[in-house]
Structure 1
């Protein structure tokens, strides 16, 4: 189940990012302006941002497995439609539908994964699942570029769409609501009865600690996305790398970021096995401080191997808060609306990090130069550190106020089961 869910996440981001690999071919064939090319990419992000929350809520009420299959079929067919587009208008409609299909996959997919695995693995699984976005983006651009150069841009879209359809069929055969039900009930402690929606939705923002998890995660995503977006330009301007080489090297940093999400999630779960989930907050604080120190130091150094090593180390831990933050959101919100809770976390990551990170860095670069901007951006980690520290301080108090069992009781129940 995890392999299929992770595979569909790769398909999600490969279908989204393959467009970037064939920009030059589309521009040459259809004589498109850069603004039109940008709109083909931006419409997907816009639809994901607008529809993530409502579609995740629908999945919680109607059935997560069937919604995931439908979503994968929609974005895969739309990607195949892009392959046969006759012009900009048809391509825009195809990309619009890709965004509709992909809108809720990340939040619903991670909710399914967390519902069937033990509570003690939440940070590991969350980090691994979110890392799939980085891996899928790299694969989409690299594989799409190779296919596009060898066979043309239509084949690049066609291969991505076919890959998604195959996985969607396999997922529908293997992962069903009937199979998810018993496992989800076991690990969430729920009876399977549908509770009133209103009180559960209020729990999305009903504690200081869960709000801190949203803020801390978003702050760290600000740094992560700023680095990933501007790393090709940084390498091109300050290391004199050609565009292709800079893009390839930047893909390596994206892989480092995804690896960090997995490794930091594993560490958080290991430390929390016996000592309780407060250690996950501690990992979040450590990752925030680590990214601050490493990146601030790196961008003060002259160009060279040591600078790149420190940037890589800072990139490794900057996104490492993803797993612990998602685990805390899952712990502090009702299992019945897990997908909606993850959609809220995704929305916080988007509004606080994914959208403003690259844009703010660009505005600062216009004023101080790209290097000057990158020297300032790591300071955002202070906000993440403070948020995780407040969340750690309030966590046990919030558990008692919400009527949730202490961590030791949850672990005891899990191991006895």
Structure 2
């Protein structure tokens, strides 16, 4: 049965020419900047809460809703929109996404009341829903397999950098001009990047930039899939399911720390709110740097071997669990911070590893859908569940106890990665690969 409809590229034995390699890195830089713009537009509103609360007489529920509606919309729409992008074309889909979230951010800047702001923020979420997954799928197609963890870690680290940059820049502009100019600036950045993207990225150039180890495989065009075939493509084996689940359960730890660290520093370190937020933002930057560098290190250690990627994921997660356990057993102080810094470095260390494993095991024609599934797992089981569960435990026993229990949560992804490695070896032996 022919599952995917596509056209085949002629095989070439020669490696990609220098111009094609340079173009691939140009596309990577542009896609990285687009993800920065994505998270700047998403998070900039958080710095404006004190102003909007007074100007529009809003309560905390209103403020939480205009912030939370974006990730909620992203979580709900990422998979269906990625499936559409896989069918309609990733280049055109990304251009439409960036234009939409930029126009929606401009709508936020001119909103006259809470209702208009809520609708505009919802549209921001619609525009951003599938960019991360479709953008990553595009990048996977133009880089060789031995660089996939580097690309995954580097690309997704833009989320952390964009979050910090968006909040900081938004607050600075609002202080000197107005909150409307803060959001207007985010929209302008998006429009400029849309224009650059339109002239730089084309299907023909992407096809010419494909690496030699992918040129004998079909290139992504239109896809005709039944739900059953799509499901089997997204979950071709138990090891791939473990990659989805392992990544999400590690993001559970990351989401918990990002949300609760400012409160922890305020309550138990006695830091003022502003200083606690600044220190927490610094730790977010450390996490983003770790996400990038761990991706590079994974490729150096693993090459194109999926088995070695499983080994690296296990090692990263073990380091995370040990460092977190040691940090939260110490009393608040400089020594605890000295251990928290390397601990958060490994918070998202395995995202690039899991992304590369999933890319290797799933058909290239549905990579957008596969990475959307990874995003769905990460958001629902990780970013949403982690802060909520920790909040429940904190209400019952106190936040300090809840965070001291957090290293136990790192045992779950560690166990999943061990099981995933075992299943990968068994599956490879059945295929005659081990």
- TM (norm. structure 2) is 0.90
Deviations 1:177-220 (A, max 9, x none): 22223444855442237564233541211201100001110011
**Are residues 400 and 330 of structure 1, via their aligned partners in 2, closer, same or farther at CA, if it must alter by over 3 Å?**
farther
Structure number having the greater helix percentage: 1
- 1:42, distance to aligned residue in structure 2 (A): 1.1
Task: Give 1:96-245 correspondences, 5 Å limit.
Answer: 96-184=122-210, 186-188=212-214, 189-192=216-219, 196-198=224-226, 199-245=229-275
**1:368 — aligned with what?**
397
Tell me, yes or no, if structure 1 residue 81 matches structure 2 residue 110: no
Q: 1:397 Cα deviation (Å)? A: 3.7
Preserved CA contact (<8 Å) 1:257 1:317: yes
Relative to structure 1, the CA distance from residue 68 to residue 186 in structure 2 (aligned partners, 3 Å threshold; closer, same or farther) is farther
Q: Relative to structure 2, which stretch is displaced further, 215-224 or 192-201? A: 192-201
Of 368, 375, 380, which residue of structure 2 is paired with 1:339? 368
| 1:297 aligns to 2:326 (yes or no) | yes
- Residue of structure 2 aligned with 1:261, choices 283, 287, 291: 291
**How many residues get paired?**
404
1:67 pairs with 2:96: no
Q: Give the SS at the match of 1:206.
A: coil
Deviations 1:125-173 (A, max 9, x none): 1011111111110011111111111111100000000001100110111
Q: Is the 8 A contact 2:251 2:348 kept in 1?
A: yes
Structure 1 residue runs of 5 or longer lacking an equivalent are 408-417
Question: 1:412 is matched with which residue?
Answer: none
SS in 2 for 1:336: helix
Query: In 1, distance between residues paired with 2:151 and 2:76?
Result: 26
Between the aligned partners of 2:147 and 2:423, the Cα distance in structure 1 is 22
Displacement of 1:358 in angstroms is: 0.9
1:277 Cα deviation from its structure 2 partner: 2.2
Q: Return the offset for 1:400.
A: 6.3
Alpha-carbon spacing, 1:300–1:99, altered in 2? closer, same or farther (3 Å): same
- SS at the partner of 1:241? coil
Distance between the aligned counterparts of 1:122 and 1:152, measured in 2?
42
Write out per-residue CA displacement over residues 279-311 of structure 1, whole angstroms, 9 at most, x where no aligned residue.
111111111111111111111101111101111
SS at match of 1:364: helix
Pick from 314, 324, 335: which aligns with 2:353?
A: 324
1:200 and 1:334 in contact (8 A); partners too = no
Correspondence for 1:51 among 68, 77, 87: 77
For residues 105 and 319 of structure 2, the distance between their equivalents in structure 1, rounded to whole angstroms, comes to 39
The alignment partner of 1:116 has SS state of: coil
Q: Is the alpha carbon distance of 1:196 and 1:182 closer, same or farther for their aligned partners in structure 2, counting shifts above 3 Å?
A: farther
**How big is the shift at 1:238?**
1.4
- Cα deviation, residue 394, structure 1: 1.9
Inter-partner Cα distance in structure 2 for 1:362 and 1:379? 16
1:398 deviates by: 3.0
Kept in 2: contact 1:218–1:352 (CA 8 A): yes
Residue pair 1:222, 1:356 contacting (<8 A) in 2 also: yes
Change (3 A) 1:15 1:390: same
Once the two structures are superposed, residues 298-332 of structure 1 have per-residue CA deviations (whole angstroms, 9 ceiling, x without a partner) of: 11101111101111111111210111010001011
Alpha-carbon RMSD across the aligned residues, in angstroms, is: 1.6
